[in-house]
Chain A
């Protein structure tokens, strides 16, 4: 039965239905409501048996999860932003050891400057950590994908990050139908660890591996993650069968089959994009969207198939790889290699900057008109950066590379080559 629920509550209650045995918690906005809710469930006895550990840092949170998971416990934690970076070393370790930990990342910008609002800088920074990364569009999907995440993680013995937009989803009260606990039980088999700290059958976990085998270990890690490209759709399908809802999966096309221009994005912004597509379609434009659900492993084939009919692809992403630009766009580029498709990068919504329908629409229109530059910073306050760059020039001469980039976003022109 659907309920009006804050996203964090929905996630907390769904995670509880997955019967984690160890939950590690460290506060950081906008994730905090999730672990707060879980702490209540554990303390009240509603979630039992489960150990709720108030750790002293995210580094410890992930480390406790590592220890717990290696001891055969279903382990869960949640974090965001600085917290995610603080646990970075442990993230790599959890995946390297192949421990099926599930973690919610309530996506948030990273500092400096410190900023608590949403974008994808945090999880994107950990895209190479060996974790599976699933992005959700809505709170309903957030709830559903957590159930799937445990199943995927444990089947592959790999950790899974469920990325949901901070505040936009975590703090939004929406109608959500929580996965029914009994059906979750049926859907999620008991955790059968692939390696286990057990005195009756002792093993050594976490060996030191030198040049003679490190490449093979990494190759196998890659191979293992790539298996998720088959498993994720299977689990999504199984979920749909069990719960009657489509959620998760690798990606979701929206009115894109005949589209000349396709907008690619991840997370909650997809809702607005789909509205925009509808509007432009009403105006007769052949535009569509593709919502990525799985970013790691990268579903290259599926992305190529979903986009191969287009002429323009606009990748709208909430993260910036400073020094090159788009992150998702690079991946899309690779997927489309050899096809006559232009890929545009749009950096949007950084640090919580709202992505308005109006901006989106004008962006799409420029895309349709073929006037979109290679990289666009959506709603960039150009006057402001111009002035600032002007002041910087007074101090230090920049070379041609930086100038080219400014030309890309139109700033150089506006600055009038003074």
Chain B
């Protein structure tokens, strides 16, 4: 029996066990939306296509499934772009489906035509323009395979409307065979042995755990290894959650916005084992110097990351989980307690102690997050925006499990936190979902409050309102002699009234003494909730 290309598309999604599509319709994708009605797949209508892409990416991160988003041609497709690039930079598996104008009209600049495959090529793992509807099952099978295997990433499929209407015989392929795509999963044993040897011989070994640990679900293997060999760990921003914040060997986040403990360890290490991290400039600025001081070993599924930003003496290409398992097996028990002791001593010596006054006219965000950490359970999932709020969250929140700290690391996309929380809540309805926000970022995806209202999602928002684009203001203060240019958010709206219009409960606090009571009220409420904290614009990031 023949079915339409659009029906085939939906069947492919069903075959891939897709439960939800985040999207926004338009003429060029209408056949797909029509076919969607006859399937059990839920559709979440976001209020902007960028929100759909971010929601799909949040969904992927929280659930370890492939998030799917859909949009129409032209402006619908271009609105997805920031979400696709965000997912690409953080290696998040995602499928984006876009409608396209009729095949015969492509290239003639007809209404709502854009070359979306051309536009997204630099920040997609792969993309397809469907030229024959009979290819739809193969393309979809390949797309899911490519998105979710190897180093994960977004894949876009652009489907002209006539391809959605054309009738085809449907057989979903059981396997894929892509000549040019064969990720290496098994790390070379000899290389892994070399890593074990280097760890053993090192006086001051250190592990840098990146987002790769989380995408490979390798936390248990990581923790087993460090406990066996006695190696301390620092994480990147993307690696937060790979090892519990409270683990005694976890020294925190490294980098320009990282902790003293983590950076001090990196500075003093004589051996560095990088796991699923791409040595980005924010994490390891002076990578060249690090390589001079320490023996570098790097395990990554993507060979192109090894040697890209740091000279590596022991490269291992392969799946982190498998490689760590092997490494754990062949490593000998080690005792590096003198080194860990030294690190702890340094941290103690350099501890800043800021006294928190309870009666205050603003909320101290660090203290607030410390208090919040004390009351959230381990399954609470945090999303963040970008700016000071992101770094405050990264450095203060107690994150105990992988996939519970969701943030835009590589692209640093403001407006990510709220829509990604939508995706997280859809994917993990039982978990408490809390979005940490700044007043700038919050207003970039504000419209998704409507999505939260429509689908009755109990998303909680903590809004640090400092009436400025705090992180940029701080940069201008320190690097541009305090000449503030376009960073003041003068005359913000009344955010409480605003969210109330969307069915939220809202509360505003402006002193530290109000924190505990307000937190209790927020956590007891199952509905959508916004807690606005008035923050001093002078509050530093670190």
- Bound pair (A, B): no
